[in-house]
Structure 1
Amino acid sequence: MSTTPALRGLAQVNIPADDVAAARDWYAQATGVQPYFQQPDAETPAYVEFRLGDHQNELGIIDRRYLPSPEAREGGGVIVRWHVDDLDATLNHLTGIGATEYEPVTPRGEGFVTASVLDPFGNILGLIHSPHYLEHL
């Protein structure tokens, strides 16, 4: 039996959008990072991908029409949380550029604080300030 864990690490997060170019532009403004990959091209992308954060995790935005099932087109219950150093400042920045609060700032104990917003495309963007993340670095 292998001692390697089945889930080795976060490799990619994909979120859907009806207007991929608009979502690309919003996430570029939200993160301060430009996408490194756009398919088929930058003018009419059906898929774009960013590399974000300390581990260069991939955030992909896919045209909702290419999702694998009708259920996936409606959204799901998964919330991916991205570590941020200053939760309040990040929340203010995101709501200032068009996101709406989904989950208010919520202390979770021992230095853990979470919040989340809905991006302008209906996706939940989870945020966390996590002492464990900082220790891992």
Structure 2
Amino acid sequence: MFRGFATISFYADDLAAARDWYAELLGQEAYFAFPAAPAPPAYIEFRVGDDADELGFIDRKYAPPGAANAPGGAVMHWHVDDLQATFDRLLALGAKEYESITKRSEDFVTASVVDPFGNVLGIMHNPHYLEIVEARQSR
């Protein structure tokens, strides 16, 4: 059955621009590209966060027929420690607000943006995520 988040893949018309934008956002370079240089990549990937989750970008020309180009659908939220600062940084880097900072309950707060490549990027302060990380570290 489901064992955990493995990879989230976004599409981009300009893979080099997506690679550079996310490298700036994440403070790290993509660790993988296929095919390897000097050929232009069709796919790039970053490892992100406590579990080195895979954030991949696929050249949009490889999207399945009928794939939507407009933002929408499911939103995958990344836990962040400072939601407001992260939201502000995303906007400063050129992302557009998709959903403003929204308090879902006393402890859970979300927001989302559309990156410059048309993908919805969700962020969240999630105490449950922090509990899982803490429990793993105390084993």
TM-score norm. by structure 2 comes to 0.89
Q: 1:127 aligns with which of 119, 123, 138?
A: 123
- For residues 70 and 100 of structure 2, the distance between their equivalents in structure 1, rounded to whole angstroms, comes to 23
Counterpart position of 1:103:
99
- Could you say if the C-alpha distance between residues 9 and 121 of structure 1 is closer, same or farther in structure 2, counting changes exceeding 3 Å? same
Q: Which residue of 2 aligns with 1:59?
A: 55
Q: Give the equivalent residue in structure 2 for 1:30.
A: 25
Is 1:50 aligned to 2:43, yes or no?
no
Any stretches of 5+ residues in structure 2 without a counterpart? Answer: 134-139
Distance 1:42 1:83, change over 3 A: farther
- Are the aligned partners of 1:12 and 1:58 in contact in 2 as well (CA < 8 Å)? yes
Do structure 1's residue 112 and structure 2's residue 88 form an aligned pair? no
Q: Which residue, out of 60, 80, 83, partners 1:84?
A: 80
- Residue 68 of structure 1 and its aligned partner are, at CA, apart by 2.4
- The CA RMSD over aligned residues, in Å, is 1.4
**Preserved CA contact (<8 Å) 2:97 2:113:** yes
Is the CA contact (8 Å cut-off) linking 1:102 and 1:124 kept in structure 2? Answer: yes
Deviations 1:32-73 (A, max 9, x none): 121110112356221100000000000000001112222255
1:3 alignment counterpart? none
Q: Give the % identical residues.
A: 56
Contact residue 31 and residue 45 of structure 2 kept, 8 A: yes
For the pair 1:10 / 2:5, whether they are aligned, the reply is yes
Query: Retained in 2: the 8 A contact 1:15–1:60?
Result: yes
Q: Partner letter of residue 39 of structure 1? A: F
- Preserved CA contact (<8 Å) 1:112 1:131: yes
Per the normalisation by structure 1, the TM-score is 0.90
Runs of 4+ in 1 over 3 A off after TM superposition: 72-76
Of stretches 68-77 and 123-132 in structure 1, the one that deviates more from structure 2 is 68-77
Q: Distance in 2 between matches of 1:56 and 1:50?
A: 8
